């Protein structure tokens, strides 16, 4: 059982952006449709041009969630199931046609490109993780954020999770309900209003509905004030319980 | 462990201490029109069992080959703790991208992807899922992908999962394969060595790519080889070039020392990130000088196995593990630093390990391994052997 405090959150989807819109979505949730990415107007022009759709989404929610003075001080976890998917596919297409790769595109195709771009923009020298955990990417990212908080408990951890809508031809074999989205959570060791407990139990047969990403199911749970959330795959039941 | 030098520790170790570079061979099929040297894993790889056919890619075959070396320990841990209490954390930067490249090429030609291709081969998370499936483990399973620091960071995350009491044991390490994407990408960045990688030389011109897999079973037990300390940092400078002052490299080495509770004088040897690019070697050597204040015995093992990117942190931690386990009393054998011997006057003096060197390092002397990646993601780990 690990106790953390959720201090702030931010989220983005193609047709949902403001906190009010997310409150409304949480009361009447529906699958996320569409692709696209946020405008990230706060980024300087050159940095904005270097960001692909995934990096724009991750930086948008990171910026929306993390208060300015903490931007350069938080340790970060970036969790994404598919990483910079369209950038990767564009390069695979270049390879298929025998075209030389663009060095800039190659550099920004790594799974930790959003983490690198965030650290450069925010002048943040602290530890940062980037990971993937299949259908359980959200829960594993939350676990890694708890791990980072355990290693460095003095300051908050910014947990950012997002995915693009899978590009052609891989969209045909991706899980259903894979629209673009991004969520950021600012977590710290604390016992205030946002305290929650997080644990991993064994409970065969628990299955998370796939209508929207786990990260958004977490957000729906948090906004609506329900006591307990269980997200399950296989025999793993990831469990969050409110303690405020 | 599996890499260009062999498929078992007993095969790899003698070639490592002999400084055998003969396994970095020319290949002309990865980059159009260029024959370059690569550290390819030779020989037959383990076959993917039918039940896990969805995960059939070269990366997972390398992972399975490495897993056979720790299978017995994992089985006895499973009997002791239960499958639910054992996790998998691996690091990778390529995953099954080679198979995705082939799938996309076929789709471009014919409009359909190969029957055998599954998205989980391209997903990094698939690698941890596959290993959990092979080992019959039910605990957390995820893949870190922070470029070249990924599998060093996997060891750090594994240790934290034990501290958080989420797991009682963790299979941790890294896997990466040679593929067209990284080969052509590094060529595009003009970061590939003309012939063999030549770290720390005035004539260095880039990396030689390699591949491999190394897996550990990380447990709480005292005795044996201990992960004594780890440090992490971000350069916050540039996506593909290190901070020229090496502040990120310095910060993560200092953080690892602080985490281990050691003074710099307690470190007997450093396994360098030592990629052979002009920038890495300049920043790493400058950071070493500031942290240690003396030429510390060190070598890069990338001229022997190649740069296996996301797997390099685990492969090199594995080399450090072997150095400690195969000590001769107060002495440890260090792999030689293979290069052309031409010192770069712009780098600080370095104690690069020459041929067949024994280092005086009575237990509990510690050794360090550095991993610095794209995006400015850095990780240093410190290993030491504790008498059982």
Q: What does the pLDDT look like over B275-324, one tens digit per residue?
A: 999 999 999 999 999 999 999 999 999 999 999 999 999 999 999 999 99
Q: What does the pLDDT look like over B9-64, one tens digit per residue?
A: 999 999 999 999 999 999 999 999 999 999 999 988 999 999 999 999 999 999 99
Q: What is the pLDDT of residue A24?
A: 97
Same fold, B2-219 and B224-386: yes
* Contact criterion met (CB < 8 Å) for A2 and B164: yes
A97 at interface of B, judged by CB pairs closer than 8 A: yes
Residues B7-15: contacts with CB within 8 Å, 24+ apart?
Answer: B7/B41, B7/B43, B7/B65, B8/B69, B9/B69, B9/B322, B12/B322, B13/B322, B13/B326, B15/B304
Is the complex ipTM higher than 0.90?
Answer: yes
Q: Per CATH, is B2-219 categorized as 3.30.56.10?
A: no
Q: What is the pLDDT of residue B91?
A: 98
Report the residue of A120, A134, A165, A169 to disrupt the B interface, i.e. the one with the largest count of B CBs within 10 Å. Answer: A134
Q: Write down the domain spans for chain A.
A: 2-194
* Contact criterion met (CB < 8 Å) for A112 and B146: yes
B148 is catalytic: yes
Using CB atoms, pick whichever of A95, A110, A129 lies closest to residue B153: A129
CA-based nearest residue to A86, from A31, A166, A173:
A166
Task: Kindly tell me if the per-residue pLDDT of B233 is higher than 80.
Answer: yes
Three-class DSSP labels, chain B: CEECCECCHHHHHHHHHCCCCCCEEEEEEEECCEEEEEECCCCCCCCCCHHHHHHCCHHHHHHHHHHHCCHHHHHHHHHHHCHHHEEEEEECCCCCHHHHHHHHHHHHHHCCCCCCCCHHHHCCHHHHHHHHHHHCCCCCEEEECCHHHHHHHHHHHHHHHHHCCCCCEEEEEEEECCCHHHHHHHHHCCCECCCCCCCCECCCCCECEECEEEEEEEECCCCEEEEEEEEEEECCCCCCCCCCCCHHHHHHHHHHHHHHCCCHHHEEEEECCCCCCHHHHHHHHHHHHHHHCCCCEEECCHHHHCECHHHHHHHHHHHHHHHHHCCECCEEEECCCCCCCCECCCCCCCEECCCCEEEECCCCCEEEEEEEEHHHEEEEEEEEEECC
Nearest-CA distance B369 → chain A (Å): 17
Q: What is the pLDDT of residue B388?
A: 67
Q: Which residue from A minimizes the CA distance to B237? A: A120
Using CB atoms, pick whichever of A115, A117, A234 lies closest to residue B146: A115
Return residues 115-154 of B near A (CB < 8 Å): 117-120, 122-126, 128-129, 138-147, 153
Return residues 195-234 of B near A (CB < 8 Å): 232-234
Q: What is the pLDDT of residue A1?
A: 67
B364 contacts B343 by C-beta, under 8 angstroms: no
A2-194: what fold?
Peroxisomal Thiolase; Chain A, domain 1 (3.40.47)
* Contact criterion met (CB < 8 Å) for A95 and B184: yes
B160 at interface of A, judged by CB pairs closer than 8 A: yes
CA-based nearest residue to B268, from B250, B233, B302, B292:
B292
Between A208 and B319, the more confident residue is: B319
% pLDDT > 70, chain A: 98
Confidence of residue A91 (pLDDT cuts 50, 70, 90): very high
Instruction: At B90, list the tokens.
Output: 């691996």
Q: What is the pLDDT of residue A147?
A: 95
B344 at interface of A, judged by CB pairs closer than 8 A: no
In this structure, the strands spanning B366-373 and B267-271 are parallel
Q: What is the pLDDT of residue B54?
A: 96
B273 is catalytic: yes
For B224-386, CATH gives 3.40.47.10
Confidence of residue B223 (pLDDT cuts 50, 70, 90): confident
A98 at interface of B, judged by CB pairs closer than 8 A: yes
Q: What is the mean pLDDT of residues A16-35?
A: 92
Task: Kindly tell me if the per-residue pLDDT of B121 is higher than 80.
Answer: yes
Return residues 105-164 of A near B (CB < 8 Å): 106-113, 115-117, 119-120, 122-134, 136-137, 140, 143-144, 146-148, 150-151
Confidence of residue B386 (pLDDT cuts 50, 70, 90): confident
Active-site position among B179, B273, B320, B379? B273
Q: Write down the domain spans for chain B.
A: 2-219, 224-386
Q: What does the pLDDT look like over A215-227, one tens digit per residue?
A: 999 999 999 999 9
Q: What is the pLDDT of residue B356?
A: 75
Task: Kindly tell me if the per-residue pLDDT of A43 is higher than 70.
Answer: yes
B337 is catalytic: no
Task: Kindly tell me if the per-residue pLDDT of B69 is higher than 80.
Answer: yes
% pLDDT > 70, chain B: 100
Q: What is the mean pLDDT of residues A107-126?
A: 96
Q: What does the pLDDT look like over B353-382, one tens digit per residue?
A: 998 789 999 888 899 999 999 889 999 999
Q: What is the pLDDT of residue A204?
A: 79
User: What span, in angstroms and rounded, lies between the C-alpha atoms of B219 and B350?
Assistant: 35
A206 at interface of B, judged by CB pairs closer than 8 A: no
Average pLDDT in chain B: 96
Q: What does the pLDDT look like over B78-112, one tens digit per residue?
A: 999 999 999 999 999 999 999 999 999 999 999 99
Q: What is the pLDDT of residue A35?
A: 78
In this structure, the strands spanning B267-271 and B297-299 are parallel
Q: Looking at beta carbons, which residues of chain A come within 8 Å of B161? A: 143, 147
User: What span, in angstroms and rounded, lies between the C-alpha atoms of B167 and B269?
Assistant: 31
Task: Kindly tell me if the per-residue pLDDT of B5 is higher than 80.
Answer: yes
B98 at interface of A, judged by CB pairs closer than 8 A: no
Nearest-CA distance A20 → chain B (Å): 33
């Amino acid at each position: 059982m690990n106790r953390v405090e959720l201090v702030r959150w931010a989220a983005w989807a193609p047709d949902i952006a403001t906190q009010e819109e997310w409150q409304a979505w949480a009361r009447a949730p529906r699958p996320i449709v569409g692709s696209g990415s946020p405008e990230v107007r706060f980024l300087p022009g050159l940095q904005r041009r270097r960001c692909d759709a995934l990096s724009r989404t991750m930086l948008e929610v990171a910026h929306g969630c993390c208060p300015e003075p903490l931007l350069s001080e938080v340790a970060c976890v970036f969790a994404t199931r598919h990483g910079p998917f369209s950038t990767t596919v564009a390069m695979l297409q270049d390879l298929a046609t025998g075209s030389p790769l663009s060095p800039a595109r190659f550099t920004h195709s790594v799974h930790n490109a959003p983490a690198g771009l965030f650290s450069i923009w925010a002048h943040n020298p602290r530890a940062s993780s980037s990971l993937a955990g299949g259908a359980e990417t959200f829960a594993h990212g939350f676990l890694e954020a708890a791990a980072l908080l355990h290693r460095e408990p003095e300051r908050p951890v910014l947990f950012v999770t997002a995915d693009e809508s899978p590009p052609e031809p891989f969209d045909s074999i991706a899980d259903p309900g894979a629209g673009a989205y991004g969520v950021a959570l600012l977590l710290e060791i604390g016992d205030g209003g946002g305290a929650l407990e997080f644990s991993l139990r064994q409970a065969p047969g628990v299955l998370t509905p796939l209508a929207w990403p786990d990260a958004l199911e977490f957000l729906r749970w948090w906004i609506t004030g329900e006591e307990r959330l269980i997200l399950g795959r296989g025999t793993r039941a990831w469990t969050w319980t409110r303690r405020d | 462990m599996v890499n260009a030098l062999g498929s078992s520790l007993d095969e790899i170790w003698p070639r490592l201490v002999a400084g055998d570079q003969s396994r970095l061979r020319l290949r002309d099929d990865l980059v159009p029109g260029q024959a370059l040297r690569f550290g390819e894993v030779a020989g037959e790889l383990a076959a993917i069992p039918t039940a896990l056919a969805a995960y059939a890619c070269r990366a997972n075959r390398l992972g399975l080959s490495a897993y056979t070396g720790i299978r017995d320990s994992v089985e006895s841990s499973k009997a002791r703790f239960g499958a639910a209490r054992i996790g998998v954390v691996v690091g990778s930067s390529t995953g099954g991208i080679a198979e995705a490249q082939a799938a996309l090429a076929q789709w471009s030609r014919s409009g359909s992807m190969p029957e055998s291709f599954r998205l989980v081969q391209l997903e990094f998370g698939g690698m941890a899922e596959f290993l959990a499936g092979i080992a019959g483990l039910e605990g957390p399973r995820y893949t870190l992908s922070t470029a070249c620091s990924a599998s060093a960071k996997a060891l750090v995350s594994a240790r934290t999962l034990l501290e958080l009491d989420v797991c009682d044991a963790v299979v941790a390490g890294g896997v990466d394969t040679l593929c067209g994407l990284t080969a052509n990408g590094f060529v595009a960045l003009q970061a590939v060595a003309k012939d063999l990688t030549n770290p720390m030389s005035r004539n260095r011109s880039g990396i030689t790519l390699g591949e491999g897999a190394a897996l550990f079973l990380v447990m709480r037990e005292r005795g044996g080889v201990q992960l004594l300390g780890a440090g992490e940092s971000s350069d916050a400078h540039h996506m593909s070039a290190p901070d020229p002052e090496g502040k990120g490299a310095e910060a993560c080495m200092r953080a690892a020392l602080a985490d281990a509770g050691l003074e710099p004088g307690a470190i007997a040897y450093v396994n360098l990130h030592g990629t052979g690019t002009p920038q890495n070697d300049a920043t790493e050597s400058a950071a070493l000088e500031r942290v240690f204040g003396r030429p510390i015995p060190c070598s890069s093992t990338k001229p022997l196995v190649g740069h296996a990117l996301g797997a390099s942190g685990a492969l090199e931690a594995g080399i450090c593990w072997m150095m400690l386990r195969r000590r001769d009393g107060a002495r440890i054998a260090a792999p030689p630093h293979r290069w052309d011997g031409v010192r770069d006057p712009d780098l600080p003096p370095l104690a690069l390990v020459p041929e067949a060197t024994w280092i005086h390092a009575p237990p509990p002397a510690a050794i360090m391994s550095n991993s610095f990646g794209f995006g400015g993601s850095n990780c240093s780990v410190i290993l030491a052997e504790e008498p059982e």
